[in-house]
Amino acid sequence: MTIKTTGNVGIGTASPIENLQVVGNIFTSSGKFRSNMPGTAGAGATVCYSGSGYFDACTSLRKFKTDIAPIDIGLETVMRLRPVSYTWKASGQKDIGFIAEEASAIDARFGSMGTNGKLTGVEYSHMVAVLTKAIQELKAANDDLRSANDALTKRVDTLEAARAP
């Protein structure tokens, strides 16, 4: 292993040209590589080989998925979540979000698990799908109410017109 004065670290090379350069194989027993990649849904997005010599986020590409089906949870699940504000102990920074233990108790898919199988945080990217489903449910209910309201308005208009002298 080489650590250059520039801060670049090389494993299997004496002349690293990036912050971390590894020459050789890298092993992960989980089959996943986690990275905080800009432009992905949530920190720690799964990274996939692009086939062109690079790794990229593969969180939404159809080609990496099977058994695609509509989700079965939405508004009812969202209503059980408890959004909170809090202060990070380490930095003192104020933030908003959810408590991982509470969210994962509502649906295990909301929990981010470490390599040791223990809860480490919230999978916010999973919540986006459920929030979208909840909005769709609210929109459908709103459309139904508008339709019923329009029908009642027409009925009232008809009744008032019939009563008019």
Tell me, yes or no, whether 127 lies in a domain.
yes
Whether 109 is in a domain gets the answer: yes
How far, in Å, CA of 134 to CA of 140, rounded? 10
Position 46 in a domain: no
Write the single-letter amino acid at 89: K
Q: How many domains does the chain have?
A: 1
Residue 36 domain-assigned? Answer: no
Which range of residues forms the domain containing residue 125?
75-163
56 within domain boundaries: no
Q: What is the pLDDT along the chain (165 residues), one digit of tens a residue?
A: 899 999 999 999 999 888 888 888 777 665 555 555 554 444 445 666 655 566 666 667 787 789 999 999 999 999 999 999 999 898 899 999 999 999 999 999 999 887 788 998 898 888 999 999 999 999 999 999 999 999 999 999 999 999 988
On whether residue 50 sits in a domain, the answer given is no
3-state DSSP percent of the chain in helix, strand and coil, to 5: 35, 20, 45
